Amino acid sequence: MAASRPGHFTLRVFRGYLPAMSLLSPRLLSALLMVSVAFAGANAFAEPANMENAPPNFPYRDGDAVFVDFERADYHLVYDFAAKTVTVESEITFNAPVGGYPIFDLVPDPRDVRLDDRAADVAQVADPDDASYLRIVGTKVAPGAHRLTMAHSLATNVEFRPNGVASAFWMTDLTDRHYLEQYLPSNLQFNQYPKTMRIEITGAQGMPHLVRANGTIRNPSENVFEVKFPAYYSNASVFFHLTTVDAIPTTKFNYPSVDGRALPVEVYVVGNATLMAQYVANTKAALADLEKDYGPFPHPKVIVYGNGPGGMEYAGATVSSPYALGHELFHSYNARGVMPADGNSGWMDEAMSSWHDRHYALRTTPGAPTKMAGHSAYFRITDGDAYGKGTDFLAWIANRMDAEGKDFKGFLREYYRANMYHTDTTETLRRAMEIYSGLDLAKDFEVYVYGTLAAETTPKNSKWARASLATCGSFSEVEKDERAMENPFHPRLTAESLRKLL
Ligand SMILES: [Zn+2]
């Protein structure tokens, strides 16, 4: 999504209401004030600058490698059934806030890269903290608008079968570079921008396919699909699953949302009718539970893919086991509705969803200290302490709020309303919690979240934290903390379990 530029405000309808304003960051509040002055009576505020949560630019060649603001990305995927190959052509328009060598990411090697219609080279480079890898275009750009095009071959989670193709963009937040950049050229998590995909399966006449995706889907002819994704999506939002039409049984229904919508729900399940019935019942129960506590489901539709262990969240979609559904669909509010801007912010949604799993139990003491939000600015995965110690921390804050007569679930409802469709950081949450509760949480965050201050005592973790296993994103658990570059051959079990989901 476009960043605000100097002297140029993009307006958007303010979805929250007055109390929700207290949950906004001081920066947003001042922006809101400025817009309110400029547009008296208008119920709108300045769109947050996507670039303010970008990691720092860093020296590269004779200048700087610079993070840029993607304006939009259009992808054309051709599945060649005879050749058993997938070729992707991509066009990205972006705005460079400052001059330098533009940064993006794509795990497969790009080819035919052109920047503003001139051939360009691309390097894969470790960031200055050696936390991850990035792609850097070897052509220096001036500040302003630019166009980047490239092609690449896609092979990850693609399977050519005798009767058609299966392909999906499975993601996990527990392994580095495992969001959209595994499959398509993308920006990092701080950036929101509209995306389209045109998908063609060639040479497969008479073998009709089906695309399930959390965007608007057109199917103009057999084996041709056009998907348009919302502008608020980041690189972690997209759900995409291509199969033959009848590969997996589906149940579709409309769920009566609390806001009056007939919310379209699609549940598709690998398993028998009993399992399907269980998924449908659990989906309805989870939606009722979440809408009661946190308001209308924040996405235009719901997709539940019932398969595999654990689960993973997408915007309005999930791959989930039956028992993880409540946890995963809660992520449509707290991870893929309000969206973490980077790896140091990823702990928040896992702590929130895991607190839901504990039936919102309160704690009189914090868990053990962590540095969940204390990693490098280039760190891109969720710290595994989020599930146990992070949840203990939130349950302790909730208990302190409770003592002041303030309800933490009520806080979360307002926080989601105020920040929905925007990225957030640990500081966004801390400030909002302080404003809501009146508590000074600076020191507690330093000890239990940032790991920058030693604890005076070390409280015990809860029994949940001691037994905690990641309930979602766990397909790739064995790969955790391993580096894709240093380990080009992923552990066999993990790759197999992902392919089994196709
Ligand atoms: Zn989760």
> What are 253's two structure tokens?
């229904």
Q: How confident is the model at residue 468 (pLDDT cuts 50, 70, 90)?
A: low
Q: Is 80 exceeded by the pLDDT of residue 247?
A: yes
Residue 471 confidence (pLDDT):
63
Find the mean pLDDT for residues 336-343.
97
Q: Which residue has the tokens 């304003």?
A: 21
| Ligand 1 center to 207 CA (angstroms) | 36
| Ligand 1 center to 220 CA (angstroms) | 36
Q: Return the axis-axis angle of helices 325-334 and 408-419, rounded to nearest 10°.
A: 50
Residue 456 confidence (pLDDT):
81
Give Dmax (Cα) for the chain: 69
> What are 424's two structure tokens?
């957030």
Decide: 11 and 39 in contact? Cβ < 8 Å.
yes
Q: How confident is the model at residue 21 (pLDDT cuts 50, 70, 90)?
A: very low
Q: How confident is the model at residue 406 (pLDDT cuts 50, 70, 90)?
A: very high
CA distances from 154 to 169, 183, 325, 453 (A): 11, 6, 30, 45
Amino acid at 315: A
| Ligand 1 center to 485 CA (angstroms) | 26
Find the mean pLDDT for residues 200-223.
98
Instruction: Count CB-CB contacts under 10 A for residue 7.
Output: 5
User: Which segment of 36-50, 137-151, 359-373 scores lowest on mean pLDDT?
Assistant: 36-50
Name residues with Cβ closer than 5 Å to ligand 1, which is an ion: 350, 353, 472
CA angle in degrees (0–180, nearest 5) for 374-378-379: 55
| Ligand 1 center to 473 CA (angstroms) | 7
- The secondary element (H helix, E strand) that includes residue 60 is strand 58-60
Find the mean pLDDT for residues 204-222.
98
Residue 202 confidence (pLDDT):
98
Q: Is 80 exceeded by the pLDDT of residue 493?
A: no
Tell me the DSSP string of 172-209: -SSSTT-SGGGTS-B--TT----EEEEEEEET-TT--E
Q: Which residue has the tokens 């103009």?
A: 220
CA nearest to 6, candidates 93, 95, 67: 95
Q: How confident is the model at residue 494 (pLDDT cuts 50, 70, 90)?
A: confident
CA angle in degrees (0–180, nearest 5) for 195-197-200: 175
Cα 184 versus chain centre, distance: 15
CA distances from 374 to 73, 129, 381, 392, 410 (A): 31, 13, 12, 18, 28
CA distances from 416 to 118, 129, 180, 421, 445 (A): 43, 32, 24, 9, 20
| Ligand 1 center to 379 CA (angstroms) | 18
User: Which segment of 121-125, 254-258, 363-367 scores lowest on mean pLDDT?
Assistant: 363-367
| Ligand 1 center to 331 CA (angstroms) | 7
- The secondary element (H helix, E strand) that includes residue 397 is helix 391-403
Residue 26 confidence (pLDDT):
47
Which DSSP symbol is given to 261?
A: -
| Ligand 1 center to 414 CA (angstroms) | 20
Q: How confident is the model at residue 455 (pLDDT cuts 50, 70, 90)?
A: confident
Q: Is 50 exceeded by the pLDDT of residue 492?
A: no
Q: How much of the chain exceeds pLDDT 70, in percent?
A: 85
Q: How far apart are CA 83 and CA 388, in angstroms?
A: 47
3-class DSSP state for residue 415?
A: helix
| Ligand 1 center to 21 CA (angstroms) | 27
Q: How far apart are CA 263 and CA 266, in angstroms?
A: 10
Dihedral sign of CA atoms 167, 135, 88, 198 in order: positive
Q: How confident is the model at residue 438 (pLDDT cuts 50, 70, 90)?
A: very high
Mean pLDDT in the chain? Answer: 87
Instruction: Count CB-CB contacts under 10 A for residue 283.
Output: 25
pLDDT higher for 292 or 488? 292
Q: How far apart are CA 44 and CA 58, in angstroms?
A: 35
Q: Is 90 exceeded by the pLDDT of residue 98?
A: yes
| Ligand 1 center to 384 CA (angstroms) | 11
Q: Is 60 exceeded by the pLDDT of residue 14?
A: no
Q: Is 60 exceeded by the pLDDT of residue 50?
A: yes
Residue 8 confidence (pLDDT):
30
Q: Which residue has the tokens 């399940």?
A: 269
Decide: 287 and 329 in contact? Cβ < 8 Å.
yes
| Ligand 1 center to 354 CA (angstroms) | 7
| Ligand 1 center to 161 CA (angstroms) | 32
What is the side-by-side order of every strand in the sheet holding 133-137?
Answer: 58-60, 63-67, 101-104, 133-137, 122-126
pTM of structure:
0.87
Q: Is 60 exceeded by the pLDDT of residue 11?
A: no
Question: Kind of pairing, strands 216-221 and 224-229?
Answer: antiparallel
